[in-house]
Structure 1
Amino acid sequence: MTTADWLTVAAVLLCLLASSFFSGSETALTASSRATMARLARDGDRRAALVNDLLEARERLLGALLIGNNVVNIAASSVATGLLLAWFGEVGVVYATLVMTLVVVVFCEVLPKTAAFDNPDRIALLVARPMAVLVRLFAPVIGAVNLVVRWLLARAGIVIGEAAPILSAHEELRGAVDLFHREGGVEKIDRDMLGGLLDLRELTVADVMIHRTDVIMANASDPPEKIVEAVLSGPKTRVPLWQGSPENIVGVLHVKDVLRALHAGDGDFSRIDVMSLARPAWFVPEIRPLSEQLKAFRRRKTHFALVVDEYGEMMGLVTLEDILEEIVGDISDEHDLDVPGVRLQPDGSVNVEGSVPIRDLNRVMDWNLPDADATTIAGLVIHEARSIPEPGQSFTFHGFRFQVLRRQRNRITALRITPLTRRRNALVLRTG
């Protein structure tokens, strides 16, 4: 080989190396985590800031990558073809086509892109500075190419930048969390907490409140000892006080105020003035989003509110703990009543109390039952059945079989839920 041949081989290798750089840079920059780069840039990493700038000007970045990659690939193929023609004659074209195709695919496409996809953030930081320089160098050519491309796309009725995203930012974040959970990077408890936090804007007070049928209240007209008994018998530290009818709430009794009054009166119930201890009731509409209610609790520095409908009728009560449980799951203490609402059966089915919220059941069982039209599991069955089922009736929807076990008057109190996929899998295992 002559000196000219060696220079030609070196030029081909240099072009192939540049092609590998462009291919790896494209994959690394487009696959890099925007969240990671934003955090690093906020911490002062200038390379991460360059990555963010490049991704903001995505058209110019892709233009530089494509121009650079195609130029070096065409140059390498042309030079290699000329060299092999000189060595082998006309058959050198065939040799050049086979050799360059194999080399470009393996060493300039698959290898660098695989390496970049495996560790995109680290490689994106490494190539940020040279890519920023190349984007500036190719700026005039890229601008001209983009103008031609936009003009051609406009003739086809496609306007760049007008396409609306399919998912909102919250939905994209939720999808990312679910993906990381499936890949093992995020534990179920963390996924549920992040999902609950994202749901606060979509949920209303009515979705988490304690229904009025389960609220412990006290009659202001009752003797003080009976009122104190009602206050101390419930799991909550605050009890609504009504007068005349349960809909007429005249105040809220706090257990600490009652205990202080008892201590001041040496335990004499007759010396307690219940109405003087009652604090003003705070009423909130049932349609208020949980995110707003959480802020309202913080502003008023209170943990308790009564929920009313559009007619001003009391629907239930909501506490700060109810909202926090939507994020972190059930918060139990030694005073909570141990009433299990979900019981897993040996055959894979689940016995569920009718009053169990759908969201809680989804969280415990990792299911995805819809909760848009009903809050409780009993409400979901009634909504789907379009009637109040009798005990023994079964329904199949959303991939589950629901069997009504017990009913009290117009309320479904117990159900058995069987996931159909598990049942089919069990049958396959038995027959196999």
Structure 2
Amino acid sequence: MSEWGGPVLLLATGACLQAFFAGCELALAASPLPGLRRRAASGSRGASQAVAFLDAPERFLTATLVGSTAALVLSGTAAAILGTRLGGPAGAAAAVLLLGPILTVVADLVPRAVCQYQAERVAPLLAPLLATAARALFPLMALARRGAAALLTVLRIERSGRSPFLSREEIRLLLGQGDRGAMAGGARPLIDRVFAFGERTVREAMIPLADVVALPEGATVADAAAMVEAHRLARIPLYEERVDRLTGFLHTLDLLGRDASAPLR
């Protein structure tokens, strides 16, 4: 092998490994668990391995993190060797700086995007390969776990047990991964509105009666136009005698083409 062949092969190997681990991470993270469980129940070994990873996410996350780091070191070393042979220390620095962004796009962002959109199809194919890589990387993974545990001890951060209750984000994730047809047609929009209402402030949902902008039924079109211009409203409540006796709403489009002196009703 020529003096250039070795570093080039090393660089290509590092880039391929980096793409593999990046794709594995996104494919497993974005895969719908119910679909993988069905395929695993039907006898798919790849789907069974993917389910095993998702049931213990720290395992596949550690494997992809350690693998990506090792691949990055491999690629960086190869780039430095090539740069040194081309232009000495300055060439090595230039090669690392130039190849860094290129590898980030080609060997990281592109595989992540592809595997994210084809997650359920790709995950069973990549999971057995990742399991093999995890066994090969076991010493480094064990070292990473112990280092993380030691850091938590130094920082006096205790590992909290998992709560038996689901968070709002987890419920949304489960709804997104749920089987189609499992809920009635109007159930999903209703649940989405419940979540949206929970994110609104009290000020948005309940305005004090004294601050409500409304018009009496006997007001004119000119009065309504002035109120719309002053408060920038799309709809204005109408009341009879008192503000707490609302009788309807006036939409700003209802004012178009009407005589300014005409009553609203």
Q: TM-score range by the shorter chain?
A: 0.5 to 0.7
Q: 2:109 matched to which residue of 1?
A: 110
Report the secondary structure of 2:168's partner residue: coil
Aligned partner (choices 189, 192, 201) of residue 186 of structure 2 = 192
Structure 1 Cα separation of the partners of residues 74 and 80 of structure 2 = 10
Q: Which runs of 5+ in 1 are unaligned?
A: 181-185, 200-361, 370-379, 394-398, 407-411, 428-432
The Cα of 1:118 is off from its aligned counterpart by: 2.1
TM-score normalized by the length of structure 2: 0.66
The Cα of 1:119 is off from its aligned counterpart by: 1.8
Structure 2 Cα separation of the partners of residues 12 and 90 of structure 1 = 18
Q: 1:166 matched to which residue of 2?
A: 167
Q: Show the 5 A alignment for 1:93-132.
A: 93-132=92-131
The Cα of 1:51 is off from its aligned counterpart by: 0.8
- The answer to whether the 8 Å contact 1:29/1:55 transfers is yes
Identity of aligned residues (%): 20
The one-letter amino acid paired with 2:78 is: V
- The answer to whether the 8 Å contact 1:405/1:416 transfers is no
TM-score normalized by the length of structure 1: 0.43
Q: 1:63 matched to which residue of 2?
A: 62
Structure (1 or 2) with the greater strand fraction: 1
The alpha-carbon distance between structure 1 residues 192 and 144, as it changes in their structure 2 partners (threshold 3 A), is same
Structure 2 Cα separation of the partners of residues 146 and 22 of structure 1 = 18
The Cα of 1:130 is off from its aligned counterpart by: 0.2
- The answer to whether the 8 Å contact 2:7/2:81 transfers is no
The alpha-carbon distance between structure 1 residues 415 and 19, as it changes in their structure 2 partners (threshold 3 A), is same
Structure 2 Cα separation of the partners of residues 29 and 138 of structure 1 = 18
- The answer to whether the 8 Å contact 2:79/2:92 transfers is no
Which fold has the larger relative contact order, with Cα–Cα distance below 8 Å and residues 6 or more apart in sequence?
2
Structure 2 Cα separation of the partners of residues 160 and 108 of structure 1 = 34
Which deviates further from its counterpart, 163-172 or 60-69?
163-172
Structure (1 or 2) with the greater helix fraction: 2
Q: Which runs of 5+ in 2 are unaligned?
A: 199-204, 218-233, 257-265
The one-letter amino acid paired with 2:34 is: A
The Cα of 1:74 is off from its aligned counterpart by: 0.8
The alpha-carbon distance between structure 1 residues 60 and 29, as it changes in their structure 2 partners (threshold 3 A), is same
The alpha-carbon distance between structure 1 residues 392 and 173, as it changes in their structure 2 partners (threshold 3 A), is farther
Structure 1 Cα separation of the partners of residues 115 and 51 of structure 2 = 17
The Cα of 1:53 is off from its aligned counterpart by: 0.6
Q: Show the 5 A alignment for 1:173-322.
A: 173=174, 176=176, 191-194=185-188
- The answer to whether the 8 Å contact 1:28/1:121 transfers is yes
- The answer to whether the 8 Å contact 1:12/1:79 transfers is yes
- The answer to whether the 8 Å contact 2:33/2:51 transfers is yes
| Structure exhibiting the larger radius of gyration computed from Cα positions | 1
The one-letter amino acid paired with 2:111 is: P
The Cα of 1:129 is off from its aligned counterpart by: 0.8
Deviations 1:398-419 (A, max 9, x none): x97544569xxxxx8x842468
Deviations 1:236-281 (A, max 9, x none): xxxxxxxxxxxxxxxxxxxxxxxxxxxxxxxxxxxxxxxxxxxxxx
Structure 1 Cα separation of the partners of residues 26 and 171 of structure 2 = 26
Q: 1:339 matched to which residue of 2?
A: none
The one-letter amino acid paired with 1:46 is: R
The Cα of 1:193 is off from its aligned counterpart by: 3.2
Report the secondary structure of 1:416's partner residue: strand
Structure 2 Cα separation of the partners of residues 58 and 173 of structure 1 = 16
- The answer to whether the 8 Å contact 1:150/1:160 transfers is no
Structure 2 Cα separation of the partners of residues 78 and 170 of structure 1 = 44
Report the secondary structure of 2:161's partner residue: coil
Structure 1 Cα separation of the partners of residues 30 and 21 of structure 2 = 14
Structure 2 Cα separation of the partners of residues 51 and 31 of structure 1 = 11
Question: What's the Cα RMSD here?
Answer: 4.3
The Cα of 1:13 is off from its aligned counterpart by: 0.8
The aligned length equals 224
Structure 2 Cα separation of the partners of residues 44 and 415 of structure 1 = 63
Structure 1 Cα separation of the partners of residues 86 and 117 of structure 2 = 40
